[in-house]
């Protein structure tokens, strides 16, 4: 009997030790017996729920929202190129040579990569020269000193891992200005159909549950429907961010404290899932095209007292007496 008691005590101790391994330092005060050490106070984290269904005496409103994360069918990177030349022919020749070299190396790297060029501007640049004239000792006139040519190259690729190589090849020929990256998909119709189907499945489940709770067949009630669909692309979802930094720790009284420059950058900020009823492809880590679907159904709970197609007539009949008085007839 004594051995069983010892075993039970040991088992309770092991359970307590196991449960305490992952609770963090917030409970350290209670374990050490110093309830106010460090000023830590444990508080319950209360989270308010998000309403998806509301109801009154007259109607019930059901809202169903969904997100679909879609990998891009292809991506189009746009690089901007600036070329200067003393003559128009020189500027054109130099920029075409750079673009041609990029196309040649990208084609050797991956035959599926497509490249197109887009003319942006072609303008002369001017300097001022001094001319001597009879009536004016000095006159400054503009004279063309060269030409400035701007083009964009659009590089379409399907494999996301190819982008690093594309950037390296462009940089090799002094093409550094990455203007933007567009994400393309050819599956928007299929995405919308799948989201509609999923929302309808959830709506049927809600109707069955609410009909049971309210002891009435909601499927026979009159309904009003409102539907919405939208798409966001990764370039719309990036947010600016400034890295955290602080001064160097220097304990030498004669030392100089150096302030560290904060680095500004951006990060991909996908839409939050918590206020949606369902999500497709939630485990994708790369930036994706996000499709949003929402349907709102208003169910009329209060029945009309008169049946439908009832015609209400408010006719009144009057009689004029011989004395000229008008009297209402109670018919």
pLDDT at 5: 46
Q: Which fold has domain 74-184?
A: Alpha-Beta Plaits (3.30.70)
pTM tops 0.85: no
pLDDT at 285: 86
HEC-encoded secondary structure of the chain: CHHHHHHHHHHHHHHHHHHHCCCCHHHHHHHHCCCCHHHCCCCCCCCCCCCCEEECCCEEEEEEEEEEEECCCEEEEEEEEEEEECCHHHHHHHHHHHHHHHHHHHHHHCCCCEEEEEEEEEEEEEEEEEECCCCCCCEEEEEEEEEEEEEEEEEEECCHHHHHHHHHHHHHCCCCEEEEEEEECCCHHHHHHHHHHHHHHHHHHHHHHHHHHHCCCHHHCCEEEEEEEEEECHHHCEEEEECCCCCCCCCCCCCCCCCCCCCEEEEECCCCCCCCCEEECCCCCCCCEEEEEEEEEEEECCCCCCCCCCCCCCCCEEEECCCCCEEEECC
pLDDT at 52: 80
pLDDT at 320: 78
pLDDT at 257: 61
Q: Mean pLDDT of successive 10-residue segments in the chain (331 residues)?
A: 49 49 58 52 73 84 95 93 90 92 93 92 72 56 75 93 93 91 92 96 94 90 93 89 64 64 81 90 90 94 66 69 78 65
């Amino acid at each position: 009997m004594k051995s069983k008691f010892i075993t039970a005590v040991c088992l309770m101790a092991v359970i307590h030790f196991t449960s305490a391994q992952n609770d963090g330092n917030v409970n350290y005060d209670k374990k050490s017996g110093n309830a106010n050490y460090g000023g830590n106070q444990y508080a319950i984290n209360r989270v308010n729920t998000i309403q998806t269904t509301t109801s009154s005496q007259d109607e019930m409103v059901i809202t169903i929202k969904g997100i679909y994360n879609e990998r891009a069918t292809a991506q189009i990177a746009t690089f901007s190129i600036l070329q200067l030349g003393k003559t128009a022919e020189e500027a054109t020749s130099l920029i075409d040579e750079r673009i041609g070299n990029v196309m040649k190396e990208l084609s050797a790297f991956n035959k599926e990569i497509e490249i197109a060029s887009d003319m942006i501007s072609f303008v002369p640049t001017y300097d001022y020269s001094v001319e001597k004239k009879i009536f004016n000792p000095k006159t400054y006139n503009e004279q063309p000193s060269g030409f400035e040519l701007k083009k964009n190259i659009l590089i379409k690729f399907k494999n996301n891992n190819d982008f690093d190589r594309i950037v390296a090849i462009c940089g090799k020929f002094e093409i550094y200005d990455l203007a933007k990256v567009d994400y393309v998909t050819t599956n928007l119709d299929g995405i919308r159909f799948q989201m509609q189907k999923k929302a309808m499945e959830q709506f049927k489940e809600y109707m069955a549950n609410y009909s049971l709770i309210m002891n009435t067949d909601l499927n026979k009630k009159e309904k009003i429907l409102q539907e919405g669909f939208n798409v966001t692309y990764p370039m719309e979802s990036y947010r600016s961010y400034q890295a955290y930094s602080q001064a160097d720790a220097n304990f030498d009284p004669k030392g100089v404290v150096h302030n560290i420059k904060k680095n500004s950058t951006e990060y991909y900020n996908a839409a939050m899932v918590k206020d949606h009823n369902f999500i497709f492809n939630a485990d994708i880590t790369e930036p994706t095209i996000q499709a949003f679907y929402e349907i709102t159904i208003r169910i009329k709970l209060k029945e009309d007292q008169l049946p439908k197609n009832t015609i209400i007539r408010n006719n009144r009949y009057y009689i004029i007496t011989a004395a000229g008085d008008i009297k209402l007839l109670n018919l």
